[in-house]
């Protein structure tokens, strides 16, 4: 035990050695586990009822966190969320965490699907604390690909019970992932995101849950994360979904079987780093890095290309860009056009890029993010993955 404490002490200032002297001897961190906890960045997707509490507790316990959330706080959030009306939730959270331990939380005020994959690659464990079921597939596929643990955290928002759950997904590490039970229909289904109380009624009911069940679910998730990172009790955590039933005051651990025919393939990614960014690179540069064959095509990961845009006046024009690109102005009435999602393509060939005159357009203008990934495919060739700088 003495050598483990000495190793941890070398990573801390004198003040922090005193600050964490009790924590490093707590059950999850004995035998040197606190070293791994201190040096393993965490990714938290969602800074709302669950994510904000989790981030604060993680930073309090010595972790470094990157949090992703594009939402702005609203007055109806204040009954169960720690945020400020009119301020990005991630920025409100960053200010609070600065007061806990400065410099240990990075706020990213954007959808995680449009995030820098390099930030996620640096994090060996991710928490999905969102209410967006459509994130289940991309986060599982990406966490499998990057070999990260993913803890999916949720609460019952119907208002009929007080239940929370945390599922451990680790398909890229040889265990079950949360998509092991998914059918193709599950993957393709578009689900509505849970709206804020102030949202339009057509969006569906809001999340009806209080901070008490959120705090319990977060405590469970953080305990599991600490043990995963410290390498403790893995056989009791992996391939499990934990259900916290506060209605009946019990906790259940449900076995989740790894499916060898999982639609994700449990594939891990071999990434090639490119030497240009989305701001200074083009599709021509990506094609050049991918190889000279004219038969290859490129997929901007999670960023399909729209090829038409429409206007309220009825005008439809040919235009190319992802959902994060600014559509052009209407040539008839000068209003901003709207992308037509029914006219999207996942992949583009060199000939298509040339025909649409987008091969020399900066990738950022097309709506590709910094740290975005391109998937390269071609007949008789293994799939390659290129990561923007």
Q: In angstroms, rounded to a whole number, what is the distance separating the alpha carbons of residues 207 and 35?
A: 37
DSSP 135: G
The half-sphere exposure of 48 on its side-chain side, counting CA atoms within 13 A, is: 27
In contact, 263 and 257? CB cutoff 8 Å: no
pTM of this structure: 0.91
Residues 244 and 277 in one domain: no
Residues 279 and 335 in one domain: yes
Residues 92 and 137 in one domain: yes
Residues 363 and 226 in one domain: no
Give the tens place of pLDDT for each residue, 196-232: 433 333 355 677 878 888 999 999 999 999 999 999 9
In a domain, 289, yes or no: yes
In a domain, 166, yes or no: yes
Cα 297-299-301 angle, rounded to 5 deg:
165
Residues 360 and 278 in one domain: yes
Give me the domain span that covers residue 369: 271-387
In a domain, 262, yes or no: no
The total number of structural domains that make up the chain: 2
pLDDT of residue 205: 65
In a domain, 24, yes or no: no
Backbone φ, ψ for residue 263 (5° rounding) = -65, -25
CATH code at 250? 3.40.50.720
Cα–Cα nearest to 173, from 234, 245, 104 = 234
Give me 365's structure tokens.
Answer: 């203008």
Cα–Cα nearest to 109, from 125, 126, 87 = 87
In a domain, 309, yes or no: yes
Give the tens place of pLDDT for each residue, 338-371: 999 998 999 999 999 999 999 999 999 999 999 9
Residues 176 and 282 in one domain: no
Counting as low any pLDDT under 70, the low residues of the chain are 1-11, 190-205
The half-sphere exposure of 63 on its side-chain side, counting CA atoms within 13 A, is: 28
In a domain, 266, yes or no: no
In a domain, 27, yes or no: no
């Amino acid at each position: 035990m003495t050598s483990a404490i000495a190793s941890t002490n070398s990573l801390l200032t004198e003040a922090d050695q005193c600050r964490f002297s009790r924590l490093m001897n707590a059950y999850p961190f004995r035998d040197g586990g606190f070293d791994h906890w201190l040096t393993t960045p965490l990714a938290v997707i969602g800074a709302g009822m669950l994510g904000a509490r989790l981030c604060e507790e993680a930073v309090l316990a010595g972790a470094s966190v990157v949090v992703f959330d594009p939402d702005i706080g609203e007055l109806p959030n204040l009954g169960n969320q720690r945020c400020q009306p009119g301020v990005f939730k991630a920025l409100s959270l960053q200010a609070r965490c600065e007061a806990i331990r400065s410099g240990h939380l990075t706020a990213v005020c954007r959808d995680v699907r449009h995030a820098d994959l390099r930030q996620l690659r640096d994090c060996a464990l991710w928490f999905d604390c969102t209410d967006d079921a459509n994130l289940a597939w991309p986060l599982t596929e990406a966490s499998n690909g990057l070999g990260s643990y993913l803890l999916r955290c949720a609460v019952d928002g119907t208002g009929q019970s007080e239940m929370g759950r945390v599922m451990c997904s680790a398909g890229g590490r040889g265990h079950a992932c949360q998509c092991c039970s998914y059918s193709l229909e599950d993957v393709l289904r578009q689900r509505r995101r849970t709206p804020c109380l102030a949202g339009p009624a057509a969006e569906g009911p809001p999340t009806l849950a209080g901070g008490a069940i959120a705090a319990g679910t977060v405590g469970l998730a953080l305990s599991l994360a600490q043990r995963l990172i410290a390498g403790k009790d893995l056989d009791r955590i992996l391939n499990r979904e934990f259900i916290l039933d506060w209605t009946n005051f019990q906790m259940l651990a449900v076995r989740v079987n790894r499916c060898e025919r999982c639609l994700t393939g449990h594939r891990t990614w071999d990434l090639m780093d490119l030497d240009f960014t989305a701001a200074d690179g083009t599709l021509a540069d990506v094609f050049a890095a991918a190889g000279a064959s004219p038969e290859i095509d490129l997929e901007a990961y999670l960023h399909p290309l729209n090829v038409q845009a429409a206007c309220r006046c009825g005008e439809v024009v040919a235009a190319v860009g992802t959902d994060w690109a600014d559509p052009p102005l209407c040539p008839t009435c000068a209003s901003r056009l709207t992308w037509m999602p029914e006219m999207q393509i996942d992949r583009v060939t060199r000939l298509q890029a040339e025909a649409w005159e987008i091969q020399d357009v900066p990738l950022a203008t097309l709506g590709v993010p910094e740290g975005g990934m391109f998937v390269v495919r071609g007949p008789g060739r293994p799939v390659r993955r290129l990561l923007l700088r």
